[in-house]
Structure 1
Amino acid sequence: MSNELPLISIGMPLYNAEKHIRQSLDSLLRQTHTNFEIIISDNCSTDDTVGIVQTYAARDSRIKIFQQPKNIGPIPNFQFVLQQARGDYFMWRSYDDWSDDNYLETLGLLLDRDNSIDLAVANIVKVKEGEEKPIQLDLAKANGSTTFLSSLHMLKISHPGWMYGLFRRQVALNAINDVVENFPHVWGWDHLILFPTVSRNRVGASSETRFFQRETGISHSRYRPKLPKEQVSLATDFYRVCLISYQESDAPFLAKLAMVFYLLRYTSSKTEKFTRILRIALKLRKP
């Protein structure tokens, strides 16, 4: 058990989470590293989410519950739980995901031992309708390199599930503040949270623990833009936020110049493929 690690803050933004929240909380309370706090912000749920988490909080003082007076939207709720955090390290946890019992300990030790990384990630297992599918990523190449080509490799293999890895708290706070201020969309925002850290080669990876990410399809149906105008707006804003972030980094001039062009490909892969936008636009124009 690794209680010598600094306090770890875990933020759980919730909305109508009663179906899976018990499994997620049970996973956290089984962690081998126990020096953590769980910050829950309920976004005006209409089911029994609050009652369930209150039961857990009554049994464990590490759980702190906030109830929003009105629904503030998903991304501001993610921002809110981080703003309440006190730990040196911070992790978001969705109500329907879980992890191995050594997740906090393994990723915490990775950050504790290596000041060159700001985010620690693990193997990901996607779960859909009870079927588990491990994501085979070349994690070894995510460690130790600081070249521009390694930045491109990291951006290519980065997975949205990495957003639920363990951050240095201020790094996560800077990232989400930038997203809330400059990106008025929900679809694709997880990649923007990761971009500053991934593009700067400040991610460390461990294959000694796993993160289980449940696929429900809710985000796709609720937040993915449907019309070409909305898709173009999303892609434009995504590209702009990434570009500004990288231009503000300490990367060499030639790397910044090359990133201007690579980000077109990156934006197409992480938001809406440009060919798909064109197909939809042409289809809508047909008489």
Structure 2
Amino acid sequence: MTQISIGVPVFNGAKSLDAVLECLRVQTFTDFEVIISDNGSTDGSKEIAAGFAARDSRFRLVEHAHNIGAKNNFLSLVEEANCDLFIWRADDDLCDPDFLAILKRHFDSNPELALAAPRVKFVHDDGSPNYEEDFQILSDKIRPLRIGDALMGASSSWIFGLWKRDALRHALEITLPTYPYVWGWDPLTLLPPLLDERVETDANALLIKKSISTARYRWQVPAREMWEMRRAFSRTCFIAFRQRDWTLAERVIVGVYVFRFANLRVYRFWKTVRAQMREWLGLKRRQRRSVEG
């Protein structure tokens, strides 16, 4: 049976999709399937994906007749997958040839693992380096401090690491019902395995992501929606927190970190306050950019 499913959600990603799929095709670990979910693209993305599927039986194309939204496109791939291990790959992300092999070894040595996370390098559109996220989870502290460090240092881009699919489904079952928004769902999905200490990091596995020059969600979002998202995010964080078995001391320490996580990983408090003040003062704000991918 194939060991790893790779889900590639794409919407009008023709500019970079060929390089992304080729990057996966030449991985040194070869026992995988690639599922490309085209979200109603109009730029030739579907034809690029179909070409790979015709040349390599490990690739297959799933077509959506109309755009179902970025989040739904991502989530649909979890159910399309056939393997116990699963990875998302954005339609403009690249990696080293040993990426899958390196992360797969973590599951070979730790069957209880939920997620193996890579080092993340951000580059500009021309490929020049921007910055790196290279936080490594260490084990030289007591449990609540280890968990706290992981919550503060985890990259949202770890969502593109290698997951045990059942663990990913479990995390989504906890977080999706009370947090329906696009912005912030990725760090929220990381929260349950981070609380359970079922995440390992590996700096030798390099994921290369394009820096986003124009944020998809800025302070143009109405303040009312920003407050709603903050409340939903925090509520969901503490639902996951309360489901774990903690000692009193652990509950106090980890609870502080979860509170900080809830404030930092979605619209921050003072940013939301400033947006509210601008609305009260009647200041004009720029147009919100829509998310369709």
Above 0.5 in TM-score?
Answer: yes
SS in 2 for 1:19: helix
Aligned to 2:31: 35
Aligned to 1:137: 134
Alpha-carbon offset, residue 187 of structure 1: 0.7
Q: Distance in 2 between matches of 1:258 and 1:145?
A: 13
Question: 1:249–1:21: structure 2 CA closer, same or farther, 3 Å change rule?
Answer: same
Given that residues 187 and 223 in structure 1 are in contact (C-alpha distance below 8 angstroms), is that contact kept between their aligned partners in structure 2?
no
Aligned to 2:92: 96
- CA displacement, residues 201-236 of structure 1 (integer Å, 9 cap, x when unaligned): 111111222111112346x23577622111111111
Q: Distance in 2 between matches of 1:144 and 1:61?
A: 45
Question: 1:222–1:56: structure 2 CA closer, same or farther, 3 Å change rule?
Answer: farther
1:94-133 equivalence runs, <5 A: 94-129=90-125, 130-133=127-130
Aligned AA for 2:56? Answer: D
| Unaligned stretches of 5+ residues in structure 1 | none
> Identity over aligned residues, as a percent?
27
- CA displacement, residues 63-102 of structure 1 (integer Å, 9 cap, x when unaligned): 1111123322211211111101111211000000011000
Aligned to 1:232: 227
How many residues in Structure 1 have an aligned counterpart in Structure 2?
281
Q: Distance in 1 between matches of 2:103 and 2:192?
A: 19
The question of 1:79 aligning with 2:100 is answered no
Given that residues 121 and 206 in structure 2 are in contact (C-alpha distance below 8 angstroms), is that contact kept between their aligned partners in structure 1?
yes
Aligned to 1:153: 149
Moved over 6 A (4+): none
Aligned to 1:193: 189
Alpha-carbon offset, residue 156 of structure 1: 0.6
Alpha-carbon offset, residue 39 of structure 1: 1.0
RMSD: 2.1
Alpha-carbon offset, residue 20 of structure 1: 0.7
Alpha-carbon offset, residue 52 of structure 1: 0.8
Question: 1:69–1:105: structure 2 CA closer, same or farther, 3 Å change rule?
Answer: same
Given that residues 93 and 164 in structure 1 are in contact (C-alpha distance below 8 angstroms), is that contact kept between their aligned partners in structure 2?
yes
Given that residues 111 and 117 in structure 1 are in contact (C-alpha distance below 8 angstroms), is that contact kept between their aligned partners in structure 2?
yes
Aligned to 1:278: 273
Q: Distance in 2 between matches of 1:208 and 1:127?
A: 18
Question: 1:43–1:223: structure 2 CA closer, same or farther, 3 Å change rule?
Answer: farther
Q: Distance in 1 between matches of 2:177 and 2:49?
A: 30
Q: Distance in 2 between matches of 1:240 and 1:165?
A: 25
Question: 1:95–1:12: structure 2 CA closer, same or farther, 3 Å change rule?
Answer: same
Alpha-carbon offset, residue 175 of structure 1: 2.2
* TM-score, normalization by structure 2: 0.88
